[in-house]
Amino acid sequence: MEEAIHPPFMKTDSRRQNILDRIVEARRESVAHRKRVLPEVPLKMAVEKAAPPRDFAGALTRDGVNVIAELKKASPSRGVIRENYVPAALAAGLERAGAAALSVLTEEEFFFGSLTDLKEAKKVVQIPILRKDFIIDPWQVWEARAAGADAFLLIVAILTDGALRELLDLGRSLGMEPLVEVHSGEELDRAIAAGARIIGVNNRDLRTFEVRVETSLGLIDAIPDECIAVSESGLRTHDDLERLRRAGFDAFLIGEHLMKDADPAVLLRALTGVV
pLDDT at 13 exceeding the cut of 60 = no
The pLDDT value given to residue 10: 39
pLDDT at 6 exceeding the cut of 60 = no
pLDDT at 250 exceeding the cut of 70 = yes
Q: What is the pLDDT of residues 18-48, one digit of tens each?
A: 888 999 999 999 999 999 999 889 999 999 9
pTM: 0.91
Structurally, the chain folds into a number of domains equal to 1
Residue 95 maps to which CATH number? 3.20.20.70
Q: Which helix (H) or strand (E) holds 202?
A: strand 198-202
The pLDDT value given to residue 17: 52
Which residues are the active-site residues?
Answer: 70, 72, 132, 181, 202, 232-233
Query: Rounded to an integer, what is the distance from CA 15 to the centroid of its chain?
Result: 28
Exposed (0-12), middle (13-18) or buried (19+): which is 133, by Cβ within 10 Å? buried
Mean per-residue pLDDT for 72-98? 95
Q: What is the pLDDT of residues 101-154, one digit of tens each?
A: 999 999 999 999 999 999 999 999 999 999 999 999 999 999 999 999 999 999
The pLDDT value given to residue 3: 33
Task: Look up the domain containing 262 and give its range.
Answer: 2-272
